[in-house]
C-alpha cells in the first residue's frame, strides 16, 4: 500500500455530522459528493493529508444503511492508496485475502475502489483505491 488515503465513518445524518467534525477538526468539510451507484452521500475533511470520509446512506438497501442497522454509527473502513490497484488486488489474492469484487468500481472523490472481505483482515473493512485515470 502506498499510504493511508482516508478513514471512512458511517453516520446517520451527514449535515449534523459535518457540524460535529467541523468543530472537532477546526475546519469545515471541503466537499460533499453523492455516489448514486453505492447509495451514499459523502463528505470529506482533510487532516494533514489524510482524509476523513463521512458516509450517509441515501437508500435503505445501501451497504451503509445495513452497516448502521447492524452496528450503529462509527468507524466503517480504512482506505489505502493502492495504485496500481489491479496489481495490488492480484498480490493480495495470492496472499490469501478475499476481495469483494473482481474489478475496481467508481467511488467518491474521483477514485476507483474495491473492498476486501473483513473476515480476512481481522474484521476491519479495507478499501483499496487509486485515482481515476
Ligand atoms: Zn472510502
Query: How do residues 12-71 score in pLDDT, each as one tens digit?
Result: 999 999 999 999 999 999 999 999 999 999 999 999 999 999 999 999 999 999 999 999
Residue 8: is it exposed, middle or buried by C-beta count within 10 angstroms (0-12/13-18/19+)?
buried
CA 44 to ligand 1 center in whole angstroms: 10
CA 94 to ligand 1 center in whole angstroms: 24
Q: What is the pLDDT of residue 133?
A: 87
CA 113 to ligand 1 center in whole angstroms: 8
Tell me if the pTM is above 0.85. Answer: yes
CA 42 to ligand 1 center in whole angstroms: 9
Amino acid at each position: 500500500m502506498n499510504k493511508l488515503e482516508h478513514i471512512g465513518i458511517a453516520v446517520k445524518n451527514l449535515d449534523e455530522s459535518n457540524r460535529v467534525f467541523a468543530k472537532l477538526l477546526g475546519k469545515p468539510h471541503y466537499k460533499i459528493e453523492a455516489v448514486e451507484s453505492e447509495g451514499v452521500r459523502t463528505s470529506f475533511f482533510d487532516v494533514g493529508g489524510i482524509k476523513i470520509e463521512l458516509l450517509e446512506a441515501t437508500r435503505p438497501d445501501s451497504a451503509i444503511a445495513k452497516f448502521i442497522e447492524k452496528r450503529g454509527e462509527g468507524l466503517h473502513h480504512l482506505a489505502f492508496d493502492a495504485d496500481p490497484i489491479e496489481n495490488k488486488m492480484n498480490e493480495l489474492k495470492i496472499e490469501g485475502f478475499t476481495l469483494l469484487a473482481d474489478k475496481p468500481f467508481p467511488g467518491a472523490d474521483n477514485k476507483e475502489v474495491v473492498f476486501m472481505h473483513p473476515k480476512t483482515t481481522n474484521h476491519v473493512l479495507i478499501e483499496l483505491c487509486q485515482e481515476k485515470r
